Chains A and B, each alone.
Chain A
Amino acid sequence: MAENIKVAYWPGCVSRGFTPELHGSMALVAQKLEIELVELDRANCCGAGVIAEHNQELADTLNARTFALAQQTGLSMMNICSTCQGAQSECQQRLDADSAYRAHVNEALSGQGLSYEKASDGGWTNKNFLWLLVEDYGLDRLKEQVVRPLSGLRVGPFYGCYIVRPKERLGYAEYPDRDIYLEKVIEALGGEIVEYDGARKCCGFPVVTMNRDTSLRQAGTHVGDAIDAGADCLVTPCPLCHLNLDMQQPEAAKVVNRDLGLAVLHLPQLVGLALGAAPKELGMGKHIASTRWVEERLSSGVAA
């Protein structure tokens, strides 16, 4: 029998800011899956690539602190944000590549009694919930937990750039299927996969304050393409993508000049639905694009 999983859990900033339903649904789903979350409540923002653009060493040190806090618990780390995954993997790659640089960065942490240690292969890892679900929890075990298969629900995957590229940095050598995990999870939950052009494209969020039009055109195009492909909803492991695809959806609709109105679920919400949680418990009422259609599809699926 598979062992229970216990991880040092980094929820990120946005899940405790503008997408609180992600934080809540993750807690609920972890409980149902018996994944024990040791929350890193002292850890800091990953910098989202923006701090690295300003001062690379600053981003590397801030994340080294988070890694060190996680290592103090003796557990591997889990995050629930594609952007955290990408930004942290980038810093970890540099820290792991060069022991002199690592020592230099650790010098800044020494006053706090912290130090980031490079782990031997597979020793200490930092994985998004998506990766953990497939690689450590296991899809077979997930299937066994499903009490309400998502039959008939047509789900479009939306990954977020930071979790699919660059391949060389994100462990594809060891795990070559990381760019099809969302499809695997949708299938394991009994849902139907909707393939459309935007699944691995950019949501546009990083430039929303700089070039609103380009940003919202990206979000609006992908949502529109998914609707055209027959999707009932999208699912994403990235709360920043969620902000552009869901919270900005009414504005994106204006930019692409068409009606949108497509529910966008956080990954733990989709998993939670299949585990029998009520949409309300999963915070789906807090979304900007209504999730009612998803609920209707599921209830009709159960009746049928």
Chain B
Amino acid sequence: MAEYTIKVRRFQPESGEGPYWEQFNVDLDPSLSVLDGLLQAKDKEDGSLAVRCSCRAAICGSCGMKINGQSGLGCKTQIGEAQEQANKMKAATGVTAAEASSPIGAQAPEAQDAVRATGQVEAGPGTTAVTTANEAPIVIEPMGNMPVIKDLITDMESTHWTKIRRVTPWLLPHGEPPEREYIVDPESMIDITQSMACIQCGACVSSCLSMEADPGFIGPAALAKAYRFVGDPRDAETEERLHDLAEDPHGIYDCTHCFSCIDACPKGVAPMDQIMRLRRRAGEEGIEDPNAGHAHEVAFVKVIEKKGLLDEALLVQESYAPGVKGKLKPSKRGLIETIKSLPTILRPLRKRKVKLRQAIPGLHHGLPKDEMNDVRSIYEHAEEHNEELNLYIRGEEGEDALPDGEAAEEVTNG
């Protein structure tokens, strides 16, 4: 048993007051969960502390929350580990996760609204509680990117479920349904088992940094769900789905590659990887999106094929107006974006940060000829095979698969 101080961001809409912090001292084994700590506080100190939970075993996906700023499940985070993390951040930065986000709950816009509405942040009655010596409090907040209903309970409907429904989360087969079940090759379903592992907890949505800047973004959970159907061999409207997801300006090309959802997911779904699979599939279909995400991807791949190194100016030009040197027919958006980017190119020229030849597409240095031959042969080989290794499915060898058939022997002997 050990003592922990948990610092919870609380909010009760009926009080008419803004959110506030309250600390609770709990006593439990370090191997128990943050959720166990919350339930103890609720049981012994304040029955009105609101937290949603059910299975307590990372299966139901009810207890999504932010612990020391990290989105995840309360029941899957050991309180001892949460304490270590809190101590580490406090020692490194001199502040706790709660103090770092100022004003209170800077990561949750709806809470800020509440703060603004009341004009001030209420100091909770527990904020004076003394923390165990040298131990930083474990900071617990409701999930981000969604409105708070009460304390740690967020409104999953207005963001998470609305976005899930946005991607038509059911199978769309064509033709007469078979007499019994659809029969598919088991191999053809393996690819989507990773996205099927989702338990709809919303932790990835909570952590999404693109959605924080653009609330319209379809987001990690819904796009992982979309891939679950795009990759399903029984679905007959894959192409339509890809058009829909690519052509939405807040769709697959709105993800900024921040990896937050990968770290937040308690089930290894890696939503960002599923978004990249959707982009690959959309690219293979040759779908051109309004944000020119596909054009950017193709431009990048071609620039490296041509020069081996990045030519920033050429990348920008090719992203906005592909093939301009060949046919000179940039889109209206391409022209507008090119004009918008001119000041960004001109300022570094004035500062002599970049040389003129670097600012003119195509003139930047590339790799020497011999090296370019190497790069081109790599392109040929990879384009011929285009293998994708998914570690979620294949796993790392050496853990289960020992060399020289030892694993097989162990299985038979065991």
A interface residues (Cβ-Cβ under 8 A, vs B): 13-14, 16-21, 42, 44-45, 47-58, 60-62, 65, 86, 93-94, 96-99, 101, 104, 107-109, 111-112, 161-162, 165-167, 176-177, 180, 183-184, 193, 195-197, 201-202, 204-207, 209-215, 217-218, 221, 225, 228-229, 247-248, 250-251, 285-288
Contacts and interface: CB of A to CB of B under 8 A. Distances in A.
Contacts of A218: 209, 212-213, 256
Interface in B342-382: 343-344, 347-348, 351-354, 358, 364-365, 367-368, 371, 374-375, 377-379, 381-382
B151 interface: no
Nearest to A181: B92
B358 A57 contact: no
B348 A97 contact: no
Contacts of B291: 210-211
Contact of A42 (B102, B311, B343, B367): B367
Given A54-B283, A196-B100, A201-B258, A44 B210 contact: no
9 contacts: A16-B309, A53-B280, A56-B387, A58-B386, A166-B262, A166-B270, A202-B260, A207-B255, A250-B343
Q: Is the interface of A mostly helix, strand, loop or mixed?
A: helix
B137 to A, nearest CB: 16
B297 A42 contact: no
B141 interface: no
Interface stretch (B46-54, B183-191, B391-399): B391-399
A57 B381 CA distance: 9
Given A177-B92, A202-B209, A210-B254, 18 more contacts: A14-B310, A17-B309, A42-B367, A45-B304, A47-B300, A48-B300, A54-B280, A54-B298, A61-B382, A108-B381, A161-B259, A166-B263, A177-B88, A184-B92, A197-B102, A209-B296, A217-B214, A248-B344
Contact of A58 (B308, B343, B378): B378
B312 A14 contact: yes
* 4 nearest A-B pairs in the assembled complex, by CB-CB distance: A165-B259, A13-B310, A108-B381, A180-B92
Interface in B243-261: 249, 253-260
Contacts of B263: 165-167
Contacts, number: 241
Nearest to A288: B347
B14 interface: no
B386 A209 contact: no
A113 to B, nearest CB: 10
A108 B382 contact: yes
A158 B263 CA distance: 19
A251 B280 contact: no
Given A17-B312, A54-B301, A211-B249, A62 B213 contact: no
A20 B364 CA distance: 13
Interface in B77-126: 88-89, 92-95, 99-102, 106-107
A202 B210 contact: yes
Contacts of A285: 351
A108 B395 CA distance: 23
Contacts of A215: 213, 256
A194 to B, nearest CB: 9
Contacts of A210: 253-254, 291-293, 296
A16 B347 CA distance: 18
B301 A166 contact: no
Contact of B209 (A56, A111, A201): A201
Contacts of A109: 374, 378
B105 to A, nearest CB: 11
Interface string B270-300: 1000001001100100000001110011101
A104 B377 contact: no
Contacts of A50: 296-297, 300-301
B312 A211 contact: no
Interface string B188-228: 00000000000000000000011011100100000000000
A55 B93 contact: no
Contacts of A62: 304, 375, 378
B179 interface: no
A119 to B, nearest CB: 13
B387 A101 contact: yes
A166 B354 CA distance: 33
Nearest to A218: B213
Given A53-B279, A165-B263, A99 B397 contact: yes
